[in-house]
């Protein structure tokens, strides 16, 4: 039987999660909760400025058919305490609103048929998992966080390289496409730099990845720090890792470790780009991280730099649904 999921929130991640889930035969979307008008929601599912066209149909009874998921119930409830996905017999909720990013807040979903919630963002006081890194440590928790897109890109690389060469410490920069958290034109924002126009500026800002690494790779958390630079592109980001190792490394040995992992332990999660591609080539990429093979660098005996692309929308959404499937099976 397919797992029965519902998606709460239809922002960028919610819309991408709908696309991913609807294409998997062992996943059934049974409900979507959105504050958008139904016709607007249908339009946004069908037409995406970044990811292109996608098939979706509005039925006579006002439900949706999307991919393998048929007769999807569409709800429009802002109050999480009144929202009840059990009317569609949902089992797992993908929480994508960005408004309930804590164990306490998202626990409101847990009623009747709903047994599990996955929050699509870093969340307070919430068990955190990155698929491929620590997902096998999942032990029937009711509410979990799937961390951030940048953590999903970075943690696999750190795990691979730490197991091969023992990471002493690392500095991270994510060159990150703008998001809806930023402003189209200058206006107020709690981060003064993010108050400025996203499409016109390179914007240095913070990233919570080092804190998140502490949750999924605890021994590495204190050894990692970094920052983000928001750039004027709508999708696909780049993680720049500068690492200091305990063991001696070479460009060839770092490349081999990452390439081997992409074929075995991290197959489907990490990939290696050998075609000299650019960011737009990775729109809709399903991988968490795509290592740029000719940009691996070393200096001295124990220092290396690794660059990797990631689709911060679709790649992340793939891991959300991977995690939902893993939970259903375990």
Residues designated as active site: 149
62 labelled as ligand-binding?
no
- 72 annotated as a binding-site residue: no
Query: Residue 132 annotated as binding?
Result: no
Structure tokens at 215: 């949750």
Is 300 annotated to bind a ligand? Reply is no
Q: Is 269 annotated as a binding residue?
A: no
Q: Report the DSSP pairing between strands 69-75 and 64-66.
A: antiparallel
Residue 317 counted as an annotated binding residue: no
78 is in an annotated binding site: yes
Residue 50 corresponds to which tokens in the numbers above? 């970044």
Q: Is 207 annotated as a binding residue?
A: yes
Is 149 annotated to bind a ligand? Reply is yes
- Any binding-site annotation on 12? yes
In angstroms, the Cα distances linking 178 to 34, 99, 166, 229 are: 23, 19, 33, 9
Place of tokens 């804590």: 102
Residues 6+ apart with CB under 8 A from 312: 149, 150, 153, 176, 177, 179, 235, 236, 237
Instruction: Please tell me the distance from the alpha carbon of residue 30 to that of residue 212, in angstroms, as a whole number.
Output: 31
Strands (E), the chain: 3-8, 27-33, 47-48, 52-53, 57-58, 64-66, 69-75, 92-95, 116-119, 143-145, 167-177, 203-205, 224-231, 237-245, 270-273, 289-292, 297-299, 303-310
Tokens of 65: 């058919």
Residue positions forming the annotated binding site for D-glyceraldehyde 3-phosphate? 148-150, 179, 207-208, 230
Residue positions forming the annotated binding site? 12-13, 78, 120, 148-150, 179, 207-208, 230, 312
Residue positions forming the annotated binding site for NAD(+)? 12-13, 78, 120, 312
């Amino acid at each position: 039987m397919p797992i029965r999921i519902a998606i709460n929130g239809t922002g960028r991640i919610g819309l991408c999660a709908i696309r991913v889930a609807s294409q998997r035969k062992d996943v059934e979307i049974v409900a979507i909760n959105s504050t958008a008008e139904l016709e607007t929601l249908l339009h946004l599912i069908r037409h995406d400025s970044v990811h292109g066209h996608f098939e979706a149909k509005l039925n006579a009874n006002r439900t949706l058919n999307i991919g393998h998921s048929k007769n999807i119930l569409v709800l429009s409830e802002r109050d999480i305490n009144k929202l009840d996905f059990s009317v569609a017999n949902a089992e797992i909720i993908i929480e994508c609103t960005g408004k309930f990013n804590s164990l306490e807040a998202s626990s409101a979903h847990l009623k009747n048929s709903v047994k599990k919630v996955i929050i699509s963002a870093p969340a307070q006081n919430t068990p955190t998992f990155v698929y491929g890194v620590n997902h096998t440590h999942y032990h029937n928790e009711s509410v979990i966080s799937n961390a951030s897109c940048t953590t999903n890109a970075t943690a696999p690389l750190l795990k691979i390289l730490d197991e091969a060469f023992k990471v002493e410490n690392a500095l991270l920069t994510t060159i990150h496409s703008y998001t809806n958290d930023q402003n189209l034109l200058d206006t107020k924002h709690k981060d003064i730099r993010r108050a400025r126009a996203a499409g016109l500026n390179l914007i240095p800002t913070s990233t919570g990845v080092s804190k998140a690494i502490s949750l999924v790779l605890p021994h590495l958390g204190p050894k990692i720090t970094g920052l983000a630079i928001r750039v004027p592109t709508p999708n696909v980001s780049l993680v720049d890792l500068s690492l200091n190792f305990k063991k001696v490394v070479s460009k060839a040995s770092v490349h081999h470790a990452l390439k081997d992992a992409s074929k075995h332990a991290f197959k489907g999660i990490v990939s290696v780009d050998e075609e000299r591609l650019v960011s737009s080539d990775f729109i809709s990429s399903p991988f968490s991280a795509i290592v740029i093979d000719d940009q691996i660098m070393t200096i001295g005996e124990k220092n290396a730099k690794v660059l990797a692309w990631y689709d911060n929308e679709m790649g992340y959404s793939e891991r959300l649904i991977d995690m939902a499937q893993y939970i259903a099976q375990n």
